Amino acid sequence: MFSNEEKESIYKVIYNRRDIRSFLSTPISEDKIDRILSAAHHAPSVGFMQPWNFILISSDEVKEKLAWAADKERRSLAIHYEGEKETNFLSLKVEGLKEAPLTICVTCDPTRGGSHVLGRNSMPETDMLSTACAIQNMWLAACAEGLAMGWVSFYKKNDVRDILEIPPHIDPIALISIGYTDDYPEKPILETANWRKRESLKSLIFKDKWQETN
């Protein structure tokens, strides 16, 4: 059972967790990293398959290569966006990969647990969903540890496979930057940048069946 104080702490971290794109170079102690990864490893997984691996990247050379891959994709994506604001915003996002003292590539191995993983047999994408749950645990733990985390999701997966020598059947789901920041925002940066507003929760809840709201 959880006391009211405990509950409040849990909601506090859920509400305060933010996606961060600028980092200080201050190093992170190993015990913090261990606790964050252990939190990730205690995520739920379909058929208990635990499909995740964590590649910890602190080499500047490797971080430069990853930033190159993300920047290449950023420039390619920017062609689909119009207007200076959007392009500027996109350019902000890649710097974090170089600034943060630690980048973690979180991967998903769809073959772990054999050919007939319970649940995954029915929905193959549940291995990725499990990996996302691990990333969310990691994010909450990082926030609790006073660390900032950013999830980079634009790169060609084969570029990241090449850079990190990841086998072809392994899915590099996310590049995660972790570090300290002196710029921890109250609201999501995309909300502050008027990219998009938070939806009203009420409009997202239906009873007993789908209800079209538009």
Question: Within 144-163, which residues bind a second copy (CB under 8 A)?
Answer: 144-146, 151, 153-155, 157
Number of C-beta neighbours around residue 116 at 10 A: 8
193: which residues sit within 8 A by CB, 6+ positions away?
A: 85, 89
DSSP code, position 203: G
> Interface residues for a second copy in 181-210 (CB under 8 A)?
188, 190-191, 195-196, 198-199, 201, 204-210
Of the two residues 25 and 116, which places its CB atom closer to a second copy in the complex? Answer: 116
**Under the criterion CB under 8 A, does residue 7 sit at the interface with a second copy?**
yes
**Under the criterion CB under 8 A, does residue 69 sit at the interface with a second copy?**
no
b (16+ CB within 10 A) / e for 36-51: bbebbeebebbbebbb
Which of 41, 68, 101, 159 touches a second copy (CB under 8 A)?
41
**Under the criterion CB under 8 A, does residue 126 sit at the interface with a second copy?**
yes
CB 14 to a second copy: min, Å: 5
Of the two residues 17 and 23, which places its CB atom closer to a second copy in the complex? Answer: 17
Q: What whole-number distance in Å separates Cα of residue 21 and Cα of residue 192?
A: 14
Which of 22, 23, 50, 178 touches a second copy (CB under 8 A)?
50
> Interface residues for a second copy in 8-27 (CB under 8 A)?
9-15, 17, 19
Number of residues that bind a second copy (CB under 8 A): 96
Which of 52, 96, 100, 176 touches a second copy (CB under 8 A)?
52
Of the two residues 25 and 200, which places its CB atom closer to a second copy in the complex? Answer: 200
Q: What whole-number distance in Å separates Cα of residue 156 and Cα of residue 109?
A: 17
Q: What whole-number distance in Å separates Cα of residue 103 and Cα of residue 75?
A: 21
At 36, phi and psi to the nearest 5?
A: -65, -45
Of the two residues 23 and 63, which places its CB atom closer to a second copy in the complex? Answer: 63
Q: What whole-number distance in Å separates Cα of residue 118 and Cα of residue 15?
A: 33
Which of 42, 88, 111, 158 touches a second copy (CB under 8 A)?
42
Cβ atoms of 19 and 174 within 8 Å: the answer is no
